[in-house]
Copies of this chain bind each other. A is one copy, B any other.
Amino acid sequence: MMSAMVKLNHHYQKLQPNYLFTEVEKKTETLLSREPGAKLLHLGVGDISMPLPPAVVEELVQASLEMGDPKKFRGYGPSQGYLFLREKVAKHDYENLSVSPDEIFISDGANTDLANLQEIFAPDVRVALPDPAYPVYLDTTIMAGRTRLPLKTGGYGGVVYLPCLEENGFQPLPPPTHADLIYLCSPHNPTGVAMTRPLLEQWVDYAKRHRSILILDAAYEAYINDPEIPHSIYEIEGAKEVAIEVKSFSKNAGFTGLRCSYTVIPHQLRVADTGSIFSLNTLWKRRQDAKTNGVSYPVQRAAAAVYTEAGQAQVKGLVTGYLERAKVLGDGLRALRFAVFGGVNAPYLWMGVPERFNSWSFFDYLLEKAHLVTLPGSGFGKTGEGYMRLTSFGTKEAIAQALERLKAL
């Protein structure tokens, strides 16, 4: 019997394998096989290196014990997350911004929501994203069929790229063209540069004129030092009518292995379509109700502990620790005459590559001559060429040693 055959999502064929981390790993292994005694120092890792703060662990353990108690255990929780956590987020992270708990959705990671949020929009919406950027924005846009094929000149047809360049202070500017759905990230991964208030105002204005939606990835918000930099896009007037904000417990409280984040979708975020007005909050709630049973109860309890007095002090200690390392690394690199950006309001530094190198050849050079493992900026988009992403998640000792080795080059 001949019959039709199940067809696949053809857009996956447009994905280009992201060789960044596998290539870094391969090159590192090759070096180690050649020089088995090499003491490698890792300067590019994006994962945290300090454990969960004690207040968080205590609550995690407490809630875990309760899960074995016939009187206290919890079964299915709300897909939107427990109210006790959403109330804490609303009160603490949006103190004067009037965000209500029912505008907050708890999730198992910023990554998850940044990817899945596209589902509530039409297949043919035009996506804009910074270049360089966290690869998830582009990969999930490709998977959803919202790009054309990759172009010979780099990048994908149908995507609006927002170049983050030294000329524009690494600030992604609103483009002259139209985009429907715009990913922004502040403080930015990989450049480590935070978006200024005037730029966020420009974006809110752009979104209103173009009737677009902004998705702000604010996973590194806790690292903002500069009092002029907004901690939330909702500090900008009118932003609630155009912006979704995604925040995470990963990089402030060390939840990369525990998994918890949240997404804010204000009730004012309404879209007129086919003659009716739709609330994005309601659409997302419907999506979450159908597709998830929410985040692990002990993990939500642990996240709530971030907002206790002890939790706040401990998280501040972690963030301050990483920022101090970023300062040491940045100052050290500048003293060695490298061009370095970021690292003030973020755990990431964006280092210019010396003239005779490109991202990958400089990676090779640092690996071979100084046994330093870094991350080539070109892995984050074509505008990242000529840069390296360094992070302050390594230990103090590793950073000090790395600087010594660079000096000796």
Interface residues, chain A, CB within 8 Å of chain B? 1, 3-10, 12-13, 15, 47-54, 56-57, 60-61, 64-65, 67-70, 72-77, 108-109, 111-112, 115-116, 119-125, 135-136, 139-140, 143, 178, 180-181, 209-213, 254, 256-259, 271-274, 278, 283, 286-287, 290-299
Contact = CB atoms under 8 A, between A and B. Distances in A.
A269 B305 CA distance: 44
Contacts of A76: 47, 256-257
- Tallying the copies of this chain within the complex gives 2
Nearest to A111: B293
A8 B259 contact: no
B75 A47 contact: yes
13 contacts: A4-B178, A5-B271, A7-B124, A7-B273, A9-B120, A57-B65, A61-B64, A108-B108, A111-B293, A136-B291, A140-B290, A258-B298, A259-B296
Nearest to A283: B12
A194 to B, nearest CB: 23
Given A54-B68, A74-B257, A178 B111 contact: no
A286 B135 CA distance: 13
B292 A111 contact: yes
Main secondary structure on A side of the interface with B: loop
Contact of A122 (B9, B65, B115, B209): B9
A303 to B, nearest CB: 11
B51 A60 contact: no
Nearest to A276: B13
Contacts of A47: 75-76
Given A3-B211, A8-B121, A75-B257, 15 more contacts: A4-B180, A5-B180, A5-B273, A12-B120, A51-B72, A54-B68, A60-B64, A61-B65, A67-B257, A75-B256, A108-B295, A109-B292, A112-B293, A136-B291, A259-B295
A6 B257 contact: no
A44 B53 CA distance: 41
Given A51-B68, A57-B65, A112-B292, A15 B286 contact: yes
A7 B143 contact: no
Contacts of A293: 108-109, 111-112, 256, 259
B68 A57 contact: yes
A129 to B, nearest CB: 14
